[in-house]
Amino acid sequence: MDTFSKSVEEMSINSEEPPQEYVVKDCSFGSIESSDPSPGSIPVIDISIFSLSTSHDPKEVENELEKLRSALSSGGCFQCCRGKKKKKKRKKYGQRPLDRWSPTLDILAQLTRFAPIPIALYSCNTRDTVYVTDSIVLPSAEMSKSVEEMSINSEEPPQEYIVKDSSFGSIQSSDPSLGSIPIIDINIFSLSSSHDSKEVDNELEKLRSALSSGGCFQAIGHGIPSSLLDKLREVAKQFFVLPAEEKHKYSRAANEVEGYGQDRVVSEKQILDWSSRLSLKVFPEDQRRLNFWPENPSDFKDILHEYAVKLKGVMDILFEAMEKSLNLVEGSFSSQFGDNSLIKARFNFYPPCSRPDMVLGVKAHSDRSGTTVLLQDDEVGGLQIFKDDKWINVPVIPHALVVNLGDQMQIMSNGIFKSPLHRVLTNTDKLRISVATFNEPEPDKEIGPVEQLIDEKRPRLYRNVKNFAAFNYECFQKGKVALEEAKI
Ligand SMILES: O=C(O)CCC(=O)C(=O)O
């Protein structure tokens, strides 16, 4: 249509009557005239009060926090200002250029670092109005403290950390029997090893059995030098014990996964983990966001890089062995990950906690990855795997790597391999460090059960899924389990 192809700018300049296509006929949200013109329906909040560097009294901060909570949980929208409005003539809030607001926006990002929903900042039509696309869970006064701070002051964990009940048994319900997690010498699977085929077959059978029962084993003979593993734990510890301001240089933004921070809050009922984390993408190498890689300690980057390269080799050996253990065609699993599969590292820091009977370092979960390889603390245990309906301690073997499968391998193996539930306990006097690395397929690749593993006796259990990470996140927010939702 002729008029339709004109731009709104053109029509406006000529003061033309808007064509039919622009005319709002009816709307389930009320007519255009039915708006409330009263000013003040959109709250104005002075967010400078939340800045760490201000010296407002706690009552003032609490009032403004309450105003913020109320604004976001009613309209989901507010206008922010910074400091008290001065009497003398100055520009209105809404007319400042957005770049002058960036410190304000930083404060807001800090404040809402628990928010799962990206905060959209609109600078054109709504001018500097900060608009939150959905209700967010705001940190209570206690929640905004880090677990490190609370641990140093031996504070009682706030309610948000207390595990109330669990369908998988209470915190105390663990079985301390050691040795139930198999130990596998993966050197036997490497091409350069000179083991006879009987030995290889025995170890492959052990691998198949471990992965199809508990979904977890401890790998020895992986070839990564013990000195490198020790250094990795050491730089992790050096980073986490830095002052808060230093660590906050690497803080994860509200809508991001990478960076330093605590548990991401995605639902109001979520029980928080007594741990801090630093999450970094290590492969593909060109997707590394080095601004999140700590400068301090100075050898952090090199040590992580060296570990990651060696670990990639270990993961390749594991894929091949897993395929062989099920008599699959070579590449049945690995090809589903793609040439640019992801490896993400998560450094976990668990400070001592005064209530290990009521608080978990990490709540029970299965990993959404394909395969997870975990370097445990060399002294302090805490990791437990849910196997045969009970929680089993994973013993500390200082230079072994704990391998546990993730949900995507359970799907690819058509349910033969298991992605185990696991959790981490806290303790009263020792801090614990671990480094988990997650291998995931390229997000655009569709994954699904390997055809060779589908037959009449074992029909296809799962449908094909693309971008499992996003699917998993969506399910979690709705209180659903991704593996269940992927079932046919
Ligand atoms: O710290 C551990 O032992 C386990 C960590 C873990 O489960 C995770 O990072 O997902």
**pLDDT single digits (tens) 10-52:** 788 888 888 888 888 765 566 676 666 565 578 888 777 776 5
For residue 357, the CA-to-ligand 1 centroid distance in Å is 19
Q: What's the CATH fold of domain 174-485? A: Jelly Rolls (2.60.120)
Give the residue, 5 or 277, on which the prediction is more confident: 277
For residue 376, the CA-to-ligand 1 centroid distance in Å is 9
- Of all atoms in ligand 1, which is nearest to the CA of residue 350? 1
As assigned by CATH, the class of the 40-135 domain is alpha beta
Burial class (CB in 10 A: 0-12, 13-18, 19+), 330: exposed
pLDDT band at 117 (very low <50, low <70, confident <90, very high): very low
For residue 1, the CA-to-ligand 1 centroid distance in Å is 60
- Of all atoms in ligand 1, which is nearest to the CA of residue 367? 10
Contact 431, 378 (CB under 8 A): no
Tell which one of 422, 427, 432, 476 to mutate to probe ligand 1, the residue whose CB is within 8 A of the most ligand atoms.
422
- The whole-angstrom separation of Cα 271 and Cα 480 is 16
Which residue's CA is the closest to the ligand 1 atom numbered 3?
A: 383
- Of all atoms in ligand 1, which is nearest to the CA of residue 436? 9
Closest CA to 417 of 469, 457, 453, 470: 453
Q: Where is 105: in which H helix or E strand?
A: helix 102-111
* pLDDT for residue 38: 60
Pocket of ligand 1 contains residue 229 by CB under 6 Å: no
For residue 367, the CA-to-ligand 1 centroid distance in Å is 9
pLDDT tens profile 308-321: 999 999 999 999 99
Pocket of ligand 1 contains residue 425 by CB under 6 Å: no
* pLDDT for residue 280: 98
pLDDT tens profile 294-307: 999 999 999 999 99
Cα distance between the two ends of the chain:
47
pLDDT tens profile 347-397: 999 999 999 999 999 999 999 999 999 999 999 999 999 998 889 999 999
- Of all atoms in ligand 1, which is nearest to the CA of residue 423? 7
Pocket of ligand 1 contains residue 288 by CB under 6 Å: no
Q: Where is 367: in which H helix or E strand?
A: none
- Of all atoms in ligand 1, which is nearest to the CA of residue 394? 3
Q: Where are the domains of the chain?
A: 40-135, 174-485
Pocket of ligand 1 contains residue 426 by CB under 6 Å: no
Strand order in the sheet with 129-132: 44-46, 77-81, 129-132, 119-122
* pLDDT for residue 4: 52
CA dihedral (153, 154, 159, 162) in degrees, to 10, reads: 140
User: What is the amino acid identity at position 261?
Assistant: G
For residue 423, the CA-to-ligand 1 centroid distance in Å is 7
For residue 224, the CA-to-ligand 1 centroid distance in Å is 20
For residue 434, the CA-to-ligand 1 centroid distance in Å is 7
**What rounded mean pLDDT belongs to the chain?**
83
Neighbours of 409 (CB within 10 A): 26
Pocket of ligand 1 contains residue 151 by CB under 6 Å: no
| Helical spans, DSSP H, in 14-122 | 58-74, 102-111
pLDDT tens profile 164-223: 866 667 777 666 655 589 999 999 998 777 778 899 999 999 999 999 999 999 999 999
Whether 40-135 shares its CATH topology with 174-485 is answered no
- The whole-angstrom separation of Cα 333 and Cα 408 is 10
* pLDDT for residue 30: 63
- The whole-angstrom separation of Cα 224 and Cα 470 is 32
Pocket of ligand 1 contains residue 362 by CB under 6 Å: yes
Pocket of ligand 1 contains residue 325 by CB under 6 Å: no
Contact 436, 372 (CB under 8 A): yes
- The whole-angstrom separation of Cα 313 and Cα 69 is 48
Pocket of ligand 1 contains residue 275 by CB under 6 Å: no
* pLDDT for residue 316: 95
For residue 412, the CA-to-ligand 1 centroid distance in Å is 22
Pocket of ligand 1 contains residue 437 by CB under 6 Å: no
Which residue's CA is the closest to the ligand 1 atom numbered 8?
A: 436
pLDDT at 424 over 90: yes
For residue 209, the CA-to-ligand 1 centroid distance in Å is 23
CA dihedral (187, 190, 192, 194) in degrees, to 10, reads: 60
pLDDT tens profile 228-284: 999 999 999 999 999 999 999 999 987 788 999 998 776 667 889 999 999 999 999
- The whole-angstrom separation of Cα 308 and Cα 425 is 27
**Residues in a beta bridge with 311:** none
pLDDT tens profile 51-102: 655 667 777 878 888 888 888 877 788 887 766 544 444 444 333 333 333 4
- Of all atoms in ligand 1, which is nearest to the CA of residue 432? 1
